């Protein structure tokens, strides 16, 4: 039988399922392989959602710990990535709520720090690079300002290239609700970035 830990395995979903079967039996090598396959996507999604790279690795670790702990209960009813991003969604939304209760960082402080970053980069970068960095910062800020469900839908669609169906499963919504959510998010982003789009 072919070893499912080999990257030459034909189908990505089959590989994830085979890894999960091994993880449920306590296979640490399979768990490491699964983490390697998906950690960048999880960390990237969490960073885009929370706007803070420092917390992203902690949340990502929690995501994979939950996968390890619940591996015996995993059933491949949907793609593994849907399962993965559902866990990510729950932890990110919990963290967002915790932060809003604590009010850790005021929006004034965030604006101050992002304008300082642009000023610091200004001294070392040519105009085209500066404009690109400024635009990326504006896009990140506009995405961060979206309501959390819209923000996650945008991140999963734009950065993780999930289908409408996968996003619907992850967010526990209908496909038409996801399309509506993304339409509202795009409208908000277009408005927020109108100065850059002209």
Tell me the per-residue pLDDT of 145-190, one tens digit each, with 9 for 90 and over.
999 999 999 999 998 999 999 999 999 999 999 999 999 999 999 9
Q: Is residue 60 part of a domain?
A: yes
Rounded Cα distance, 120 and 63, in Å? 34
Q: What is the number of domains present in the chain?
A: 2
Specify the pTM.
Answer: 0.74
Q: Is residue 171 part of a domain?
A: yes
Last residue in a domain, options 104, 120, 138: 104
Q: Is residue 173 part of a domain?
A: yes
Rounded Cα distance, 72 and 90, in Å? 20
Q: Is residue 136 part of a domain?
A: no
Question: Is there a contact between 22 and 58 (Cβ–Cβ < 8 Å)?
Answer: no
Domain span at residue 167 reads 146-198
Rounded Cα distance, 65 and 86, in Å? 14
Q: Is residue 138 part of a domain?
A: no
Where are the strands (E) in the chain, listed by range?
Answer: none
Output the domain CATH number for residue 173.
1.10.10.10
Tell me the per-residue pLDDT of 66-108, one tens digit each, with 9 for 90 and over.
999 999 999 888 889 999 999 999 999 999 888 887 764 454 4
Last residue in a domain, options 74, 104, 134: 104
Same domain, 10 and 83: yes
Same domain, 3 and 96: yes
Same domain, 165 and 96: no
Of 32, 20, 15, which Cα lies nearest the Cα of 71? 20
């Amino acid at each position: 039988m072919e070893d499912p830990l080999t990257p030459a395995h034909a189908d990505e979903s089959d590989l994830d399922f085979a890894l999960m079967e091994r993880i449920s039996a306590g296979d640490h090598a399979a768990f490491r392989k699964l983490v390697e396959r998906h950690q960048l996507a999880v960390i990237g999604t969490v960073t885009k959602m929370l706007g803070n790279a420092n917390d992203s690795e902690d949340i990502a670790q929690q995501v994979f710990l939950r996968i390890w702990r619940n591996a015996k209960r995993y059933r491949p009813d949907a793609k593994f990535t849907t399962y993965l991003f559902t866990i990510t969604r729950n932890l990110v939304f919990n963290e967002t709520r915790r932060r809003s209760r604590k009010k850790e960082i005021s929006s004034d402080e965030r604006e101050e720090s992002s304008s300082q970053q642009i000023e610091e980069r200004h001294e070392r970068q040519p105009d085209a690079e500066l404009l690109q960095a400024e635009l990326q910062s504006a896009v990140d800020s506009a995405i961060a300002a979206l309501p959390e469900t819209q923000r996650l839908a945008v991140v999963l669609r734009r950065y993780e290239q999930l289908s409408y169906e996968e996003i619907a499963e992850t967010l526990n919504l209908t496909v038409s609700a996801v399309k509506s959510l993304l339409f509202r998010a795009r409208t908000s982003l277009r408005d927020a970035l109108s100065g850059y789009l002209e």
